[in-house]
Chains A and B, each alone.
Chain A
Amino acid sequence: MNYSYYPGCTLKTKAQELDRYGRESAKALGIGLEEIDDWQCCGAVYPMVRDEIATKLSAVRTLMAARDKGQKLVTLCSACHNVLTRVNNDMRTDEYIRSRANNYLDPAVPYAGETQVIHYLQLLRDELGFEQLAQAVKNPLKGRKIGAYYGCLLLRPSKVMAFDDPENPRIIEDFVRALGGTPVVYGMRNECCGAYVTLKDEAQARVNVERIIANARSQGAEEIITACPLCMYNLKKHQDGSMPVRYITELLYEALGLKEADANADE
């Protein structure tokens, strides 16, 4: 199974472990992730301006690169996933955006949203299968009470993202179960972490994070996992450190026995 892979800028800087654990785990699972050549910024939040075309172009280039290789496009960062999925949807459904973007880029074959963008979690659930994943687990996370934190970018807007029920998502819980852990469902798992507000009004971001962590703890979570670098930043920054927060890929890496192998190699 070979896929085009789009890491995005944060995974090369702040969130290197999200990327590294993701790639290594995929390799161990026999999934080929081929990084797109000369990829550019996904566009971050800019493509969400409806009538702005230029800011969508780098996303379209990425989508087109996957299309040209005839591969599905795998993402890991929640924000990149959100941007690429939404731009792709615009290219598929919005005649105005499609024709203008194609006029700018003038590609050999015009792009009309043919690429299927899937998140790493969907790769595991829909392409590999969580049952298959469970069989590959060497170090089941037995007795670990893990709270999934979804944030907003994976889930919303729900009709476009088509990722999971935005009010009662299950995919990360099923993922945790496949790894042998005990998922802890708590209500605040899809509420806002504070996102970029953290730069402008730190106190508000703190209120949000404290609310999320208190709720997770009250329902029995002993650790939290997330797929989003920005959520990770907020969840770590605005607490006293008593609630561990990890990336989903780190958990996977651990369950596949790769972390143990690293430790043994170090010795």
Chain B
Amino acid sequence: MQPGVVFAQDYQYMCSEAGQNIIKDAIKTHGLTGVVVCSCSPRMHEATFRKAAAQAGLNPFMVEIANIREHCSWIHKDKEEGTEKACVLMRAAVAKVTLNAPLKAGESKVVKRALVIGGGIAGIQTALDIADAGFPVDIVEKNATIGGRMAQLDKTFPTLDCSSCILTPKMVEAKANENIRLITYAEVEEVSGFVGSFKAKIRKKARFVKEDVCTGCGVCMSKCPSKKGLNEFNMGLNNRSAIYIPFAQAIPNVAVIDKEQCIKLKTGKCGLCQKVCTAGAIDYTQQDEFIEEEYGAIVMATGFRPIDASKFDEYSYSTCKDVVTSLELERIMNAAGPTGGVLLRPSDGKHPHSIVFIQCVGSRDVSGRGKPYCSKICCMYTAKHAMLIRDKYPDVEVHVFYIDVRTPGKNFDEFYRRAAEQYDVDYIKGQVGKVYEENGQLVVRGVDLISNEQIVLNADMVVLATAIEPDPTARKVANMLTASIDTNDFITEAHPKLRPVESPTAGIFLSGVCQGPKDIPETVSQAGAAASKVIGLLAKDKLTTNPCVAHSDELLCNGCSCCEKVCPYSAISYETKLINDHGVKETRRVAMVNEALCQGCGACTVVCPSGAMDLKGFSNKQIMAEVDAICL
């Protein structure tokens, strides 16, 4: 037995109720002042065991976990050595627990307002659900309108309902809801604070149009002489004026001036839109504004974009106009799109007779040009495009090259089979090696893996089902929020199975494709889940804070500022005060820790040259005792 240990017990399922009862009984029977559990990672069950100890009347911070699973048995092949290491870890935990002191968790406030970053369907749904529960919520959207990618879609799978018909009411609701504030054409610039009490600084970019005055009549757009801007909403397939409303159902329905394109803003001459605006909404002198607000919770809903198809120029996207991406086709098929919803090929505006779809462009790609993951939505939207084209234009031959057709989802496989069986879409298992132009047509060279033959098809259009990737702003936003991010720039969940809508950083929640590829129904479900987590947080009046925070011994502190410099949370400040050191009185500068801001990282304790800084629950003495137990 180790010194201090009066009771030891082996039990296979210590985290079960029976196991917890063993601990509770032992505390009562032996009057234990500390408990060590040698088991799995504290990330799994530290809370469970602390709670059990508290129920038996022991301060919960008198429980220590020796992680002999993730840090030991799971990673070592040599059982003898592994067992020896497990014993060492146990000794260290015992050495530490004898020095533990009872700690009491503090409290911090909860600002009852949420911030949603991104105004696509994910952000809108999350905001609506939070607002419905009675909490105020701000949506910050970088574009001039909310709506996101879903607003660009023509029809949705597998029901084929009109995308904007189901999205627009939600956009209108978001605008009308008195608990929701829309901050469009804006980006979050700075975030500080912590769960329950974040502070955000939001840059509202100059629209050069007074948002509360503009009526959205659109006269300015028709009179604007600078009409050569690429229409982002139509994926650059046609042009728009320098002053524009992104699309007819935009919310807010207010114009915005592209300052890179506007003649007045660039040269000082023109001013036509100001002259024709009867409402007097145009203001060329408008500057960026800043909004500062406090939030209890922040939801990331930053969405996605398709990857750049010119990285895969064996399909000639950069050189042939009739090679388009699926999102471009979506705009071509849309009644409000560049062709008024008539399927015309971009090069010459003629009706195509043969279309080849290529799936997995940049998805499941390990060459480094694309993404290693499956983008999840492409099989279904390609089946949708193929079916819609065959339905509307039965004279058009449609071929689809695929690696696999992946259709897990309610009514998804039925949908794909309908495309292949009822609409005679020609599905070819195999990949395309080359697309090129010859005699005014596209030539597609590929392979049919089932017949094991090379095939050459002539096509009027080729559609690339491009992979999706997180919006490029995701990384910046994640850094600002100290939310972790994976190698593909998707935001990491706190637990992939059990906490899928929370970031490991407390108070940060995930909604939509920023967490991983997903379709609309999944996005909406996740948006609701994120909202319910936010509501659960905002419903609390106080949060329990982690008592394992830094503390400065003012008798030892020499006021050198080392700790202040390394503190990532700006939790350390200095105060000049009268110190009474055993009767010797002097006035000097000493460090103070703001316990509400301190996250207990311990950086200050390491740099402190005089040993004044210490971390409750992980004091220098405790750490050294652990080291001694391991090494001596």
Contacts and interface: CB of A to CB of B under 8 A. Distances in A.
Interface in B53-77: none
A187 B435 contact: yes
Interface residues of B, number: 14
A13 interface: no
A186 interface: yes
A143 B551 CA distance: 81
Interface string B418-448: 0000000000000000111111000100000
A191 B433 CA distance: 11
Interface stretch (A60-68, A81-89, A214-222, A241-249): A214-222
Contact of A167 (B313, B437, B439, B443): B313
B314 A219 contact: no
B319 A191 contact: no
Contacts of B443: 187
A177 to B, nearest CB: 16
Interface SS, A side: loop
B347 interface: no
Interface in B529-584: none
B438 A187 contact: yes
B318 A168 contact: yes
B556 to A, nearest CB: 51
B185 interface: no
Contacts of A168: 310, 313, 316, 318-319
Interface in A176-206: 185-188, 191
Nearest to A165: B313
A187 B436 contact: yes
A165 B369 CA distance: 11
A187 B434 contact: yes
B225 to A, nearest CB: 33
Given A185-B319, A187-B443, A167 B436 contact: no
Interface in B438-465: 438-439, 443
Contacts of B438: 186-187, 214-215, 218-219
B312 interface: yes
Q: How big is chain A's contact interface, by range?
A: 10 to 19
B465 to A, nearest CB: 18
Contacts of B435: 187
Contacts of B314: 167
A186 B438 CA distance: 8
Contacts of B310: 168
Contacts of A219: 437-438
Contacts of A165: 313
A165 B314 CA distance: 10
Contact of B316 (A187, A191, A218): A187
A231 to B, nearest CB: 18
A214 B443 CA distance: 12
B313 A188 contact: no
B439 A218 contact: yes
B308 to A, nearest CB: 12
A55 to B, nearest CB: 28
Contacts, number: 31
Contact of A215 (B313, B318, B319, B436): B436
B9 to A, nearest CB: 54
A214 B437 CA distance: 11
Contacts of B434: 187, 191
Contacts of B318: 168
Interface in B386-436: 434-436
B436 A188 contact: yes
Interface string B205-241: 0000000000000000000000000000000000000
Contacts of B436: 186-188, 215
B403 to A, nearest CB: 19
Interface string B304-346: 0000001011101011000000000000000000000000000
Contacts of B316: 168, 187
A212 B437 CA distance: 12
A214 B438 CA distance: 8
A256 to B, nearest CB: 30
B509 to A, nearest CB: 40
Contacts of A185: 319
Contacts of B439: 218
A256 B320 CA distance: 33
Interface string A86-121: 000000000000000000000000000000000000
B312 A187 contact: no
Nearest to A168: B313
Nearest to A219: B437
A147 B365 CA distance: 31
B318 to A, nearest CB: 6
B362 to A, nearest CB: 13
B179 to A, nearest CB: 51
Interface string B514-534: 000000000000000000000
Nearest to B437: A187
Interface in A1-48: none
Contacts of A188: 436
A171 to B, nearest CB: 14
Interface in A203-256: 214-215, 218-219
B341 to A, nearest CB: 31
A183 to B, nearest CB: 12
> Most chain-B CB neighbours within 10 Å: which of A167, A185, A191?
A167
Interface string A252-266: 000000000000000
Nearest to A189: B436
A164 to B, nearest CB: 11
A17 B499 CA distance: 70
Nearest to B438: A218
Q: Which of A168, A185, A187 has the most CB atoms of chain B within a 10 A radius of its CB?
A: A187
A165 B310 CA distance: 10
A185 B434 CA distance: 15
Contacts of A191: 434
A185 B320 CA distance: 10
Interface string B240-263: 000000000000000000000000
B440 to A, nearest CB: 8
B413 to A, nearest CB: 34
Nearest to B310: A168
A195 B443 CA distance: 23
B361 to A, nearest CB: 12
Nearest to A169: B313
A187 B316 CA distance: 8
A187 B434 CA distance: 8
Which of B435, B437, B438, B439 counts the most chain A CB atoms within 10 A? Answer: B438
Nearest to A188: B436
B547 to A, nearest CB: 52
A214 B456 CA distance: 15
Residue of A168, A185, A215, A219 most packed against chain B (CB within 10 A): A168
Nearest to B436: A187
11 contacts: A167-B314, A168-B313, A185-B319, A186-B436, A186-B437, A187-B435, A187-B436, A187-B443, A188-B436, A215-B438, A219-B438
Interface of A: 165, 167-168, 185-188, 191, 214-215, 218-219
Given A188-B436, A218-B438, 10 more contacts: A167-B314, A168-B310, A168-B318, A185-B319, A186-B436, A187-B316, A187-B438, A187-B443, A191-B434, A219-B437
Per CB-CB distance, the 10 closest pairs between chain A and chain B, nearest first, are A187-B436, A167-B313, A168-B313, A218-B438, A167-B314, A218-B439, A215-B438, A168-B318, A185-B319, A187-B316
